[in-house]
Amino acid sequence: MPTSPTLSKRRRVGPRTGHRLLTFVGAASLVLGTAVAPAAADSPADDVVTSDNVTHVANVPKPSPVTNTNSDLAFTGDYAISGNYDGFVIYDISTPESPQIVSKVLCEGGQGDVTVSGDLLYFSVDYPRRSEECGAASSTPADPTAFEGIRIFDISDKTAPRYVAAIRTDCGSHTNTLVPGKDGRTDYIYVSSYAPSERFPNCQPPHDKISIIEVDTHDPASAKVVAEPVLFPDGGNHDQPGLLRPTEGCHDITAYPEKDIAAGACMGDGILMDISDPVNPVVTEQVRDTNFAFWHSATFSNDAKTVLFTDELGGGGAATCNERIGPERGANAIYTLKNGKLDFEGYYKLPRHQSATENCVAHNGSLIPVPGQDFFVQAWYQGGVSIIDLNDPANAREIGYFDRGPIDENRLVGGGSWSAYYYNGYIYSNDMTRGFDVLKVDDRRLRPAEKVTYDEFNPQSQPRYKPGR
């Protein structure tokens, strides 16, 4: 079990893909800090442009010492948890237009994908460290003793998260997905990872599997890997021209636990799975697309009759939202699910061309919970945030947006919105470089979503919503 670093509490003040391309610096222990007031939204330096129905209401810059690349988001009650390559930050969003930092956890490991389950936080480590401890120096995948995998934190006290367990997984954890057990006290964590090599003792090819961790939520320190199902016994898609990577396990999985299904975005393949037995997922459908370079993520419609997959052309580091690349690459592919089969309906690509110095491609998003309708909000790196009408899957269209100008007008500098999710009346965006943003939408089509509230939200563990929930 990891040794928890010494913690200091703060005084509460006032009213929350990347691939292996980014580097980070420094080794230190878990740190908790003081509140940071939100910056004024739409300051001149931001060069923000929005549609008439979107207002940028708050921005909180990345706080020291958690200043590396911001990544994914998870939500619990009045809190948002922001993943970062250096650790994570917990925001109090009880007043969404004035988010306050509650705690900052410095525990490096790269990627920083976050999932919350009650008082537990699951955190992905995808850059090897010399040990499981927070503050351990960086290592290499060639070191057989290096740690990569999942860290578990107890966040029952949001001001003082406590590190309680570390579970090694082959090839680390690029992303993680929660599948709650039906007994009410067991969590299953689907760990997606990739990039195997003969040189890496803990990440050997073929790596056509995922790791499944079982967590007794009453005893998280006993968590362990209980299965490593091979999803691609035939090796998956290796031969398609233009693939960023061949199929090697999955990049990300979105589960829909209430319906016992999951969708996997697996580099060269898009798949559906039956997860009625969460330890033994069964692939039931597999699709490919010659326009896709990297199947990155997936989202179901609320009725699970539509599935949206994203293509992260260029790995998140390239300028692909332009006329030269066109509307069918680096886009969303939208399918309808009929009799267990995925039927392709159409693409959606950001309609606002970006400059040659802005990395831009389809990335993480979630449904806006309008009962009986399909609306989606999505991050596009420096393409900003797009709000999409999916009600006609063959003709998806943008109905709102938030977009900053380039970080640098003269050279390509990576940044922009990694994740954009709707949660309890607001859109929250985690910008890789500029921090935590809050957006408010005023659109009659989306107002019914304001009656849908969640106590907890992990976009990759998709809840079913009902009016007035």
Structure tokens at 49: 């442009």
Here the CATH number for the domain that contains residue 187 is: 2.130.10.10
For 410-428, what is each residue's pLDDT tens digit?
Answer: 999 999 999 999 999 999 9
For residue 59, give every residue at least 6 positions away whose Cβ sits within 8 Å of its Cβ, in sequence order, or none: 38, 39, 40, 41, 46, 434, 435, 436, 437, 438
Over the chain (469 residues), the average pLDDT of each successive run of 10 is 37 27 30 41 66 98 97 98 98 98 97 97 98 97 97 98 98 98 98 97 98 98 98 97 97 98 98 98 98 98 98 98 98 96 98 97 98 98 98 98 96 97 98 98 98 97 82
Q: What is the extent of the structural domain holding 258?
A: 44-457
17-57 confidence digits (pLDDT tens): 333 322 222 222 343 433 334 444 444 346 899 999 999 99
So what's the pLDDT on residue 45? 43
The per-residue pLDDT for range 187-243, each reduced to its tens digit, is: 999 999 999 999 999 999 999 999 999 999 999 999 999 999 999 999 999 999 999
Q: CA-to-CA distance for 457 and 459, rounded, in angstroms?
A: 6
Indicate whether 32 belongs to any domain: no
- Assigned domain for 370 exists: yes
Instruction: Tell me the C-alpha distance between 102 and 107, whole Å.
Output: 16
Residue 31 lies in a domain: no
- Is residue 19 included in any domain, yes or no? no
What's the structural domain count of the chain?
A: 1
Q: Is residue 330 part of a domain?
A: yes
Contact 115, 460 (CB under 8 A): yes
| Cis peptide bond upstream of 128, omega within 30 | no
